[in-house]
């Protein structure tokens, strides 16, 4: 379980200090898929980076499984980081390392012997559907494949929590669906708690059990995904849902227009064939 209590985060000091997270209170259950929705600059990444202490909260507490980790350092911080994996929009792979060596990296740092870390990396590459890609370099992979490597790498230490910061934002819709399927499987089969940062309602709807809507560093709504998206209360979520509905209609219009054109083409081809016979 992850608990954030009265969490504040400011950047800068003195006259440049500005608070970007204001009094965040949030509990995420173990095994949950929890979405953090919000527009650009709302504070989503900062919030999630406070969970693995990539950002140090200015005040308040972060508790993981009841243990206050807010001020841990040294070995305890390393241990926290190994419990909490993270993936990013731009994959952030090591370009000079092969796929296999990307996945074994954290295990090398942890001092795991070579045969064991290779065995674990092969298991994870199999899990993410990349068996046979061990010796490729990131530049030889598609975006979706790179994100699969990043997921395998993030799981190397067997974390109980995986933070996904806009993990599908750089991918097309088909690849997004396959990565969300993989994340869903990781949640279901390995029991990993997922925290999904997204600005996409369809990503939230596809995978998240609950979502929190963040606006200007504050949680303005939180609840069951379907419930919240069907009955949004805050203006910001109402606008997001409204815009997504318009976008959806536009896609349907375009695809039905495309299908009319396709049917017209088939009819023309049909009559040309008949004429030729």
- Gap between the Cα atoms of 277 and 274, Å rounded: 5
Q: Which of 7, 35, 43, 154 binds ligand ATP (CB under 6 A)?
A: 43
Q: Which of 7, 34, 37, 44 binds ligand ATP (CB under 6 A)?
A: 44
| Residue number, 37 or 103, with CB nearest to ligand ATP | 37
Please report how close the Cβ of residue 216 comes to ligand ATP at its closest, in angstroms.
9
Please report how close the Cβ of residue 157 comes to ligand ATP at its closest, in angstroms.
25
8 A C-beta contact, residue 163 and residue 186: no
| Residue number, 48 or 80, with CB nearest to ligand ATP | 48
Told to check if 45 binds ligand ATP by CB under 6 A, we report yes
Residues numbered 3-32 forming contacts with ligand ATP, rule: CB under 6 A: 11, 20
8 A C-beta contact, residue 15 and residue 62: no
Residues numbered 126-165 forming contacts with ligand ATP, rule: CB under 6 A: none
Please report how close the Cβ of residue 44 comes to ligand ATP at its closest, in angstroms.
4
Please report how close the Cβ of residue 248 comes to ligand ATP at its closest, in angstroms.
22
Told to check if 198 binds ligand ATP by CB under 6 A, we report no
Residues 6+ apart with CB under 8 A from 52: 80, 81, 84, 86, 163
Q: Which of 2, 28, 37, 46 binds ligand ATP (CB under 6 A)?
A: 46
Q: Which of 6, 25, 29, 41 binds ligand ATP (CB under 6 A)?
A: 41
Q: Segment contacting ligand ATP (CB under 6 A): 34-42, 141-149, 230-238, 246-254?
A: 34-42
CA angle 59, 60, 61 (to 5 degrees): 130
Q: Which of 28, 33, 38, 102 binds ligand ATP (CB under 6 A)?
A: 38
Q: Segment contacting ligand ATP (CB under 6 A): 41-49, 59-67, 152-160, 243-251?
A: 41-49
Please report how close the Cβ of residue 9 comes to ligand ATP at its closest, in angstroms.
8
Q: Which of 42, 161, 171, 220 binds ligand ATP (CB under 6 A)?
A: 42
Contact positions toward ligand ATP, by CB under 6 A?
Answer: 11, 20, 38, 40-46
């Amino acid at each position: 379980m992850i608990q954030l209590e009265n969490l504040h985060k400011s950047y800068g000091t003195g006259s440049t200090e500005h608070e970007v997270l204001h009094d965040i209170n949030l509990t995420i259950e173990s095994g949950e898929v929890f979405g953090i929705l919000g527009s650009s600059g709302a504070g989503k990444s900062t919030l999630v980076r406070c969970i693995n202490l990539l950002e140090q909260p200015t005040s308040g507490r972060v508790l993981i499984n009841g243990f206050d980790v807010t001020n841990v350092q040294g070995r305890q911080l390393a241990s926290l980081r190994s419990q909490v994996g993270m993936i990013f929009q731009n994959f952030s792979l090591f370009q000079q390392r092969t796929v296999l060596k990307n996945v074994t990296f954290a295990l090398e740092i942890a001092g795991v012997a070579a045969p064991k870390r290779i065995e674990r990396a092969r298991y994870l590459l199999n899990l993410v559907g990349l068996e046979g890609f061990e010796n490729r370099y990131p530049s030889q992979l598609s975006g979706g494949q790179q994100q699969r490597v990043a997921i395998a790498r993030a799981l190397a230490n067997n974390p109980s929590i995986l933070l996904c910061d806009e993990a599908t934002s750089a991918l097309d819709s088909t690849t997004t669906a396959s990565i969300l399927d993989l994340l869903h499987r990781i949640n279901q089969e390995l029991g990993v708690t997922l925290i999904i940062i997204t600005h996409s309602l369809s990503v939230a709807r596809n995978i998240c059990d609950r979502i929190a809507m963040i606006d200007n560093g504050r949680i303005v709504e939180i609840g069951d995904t379907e419930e919240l998206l069907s009955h949004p209360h805050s203006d910001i979520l109402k606008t997001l849902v409204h815009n997504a509905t318009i976008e959806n209609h536009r896609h349907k219009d375009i695809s039905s227009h495309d299908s009319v054109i396709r049917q017209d083409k088939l009819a023309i081809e049909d009559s040309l064939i008949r004429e030729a016979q």
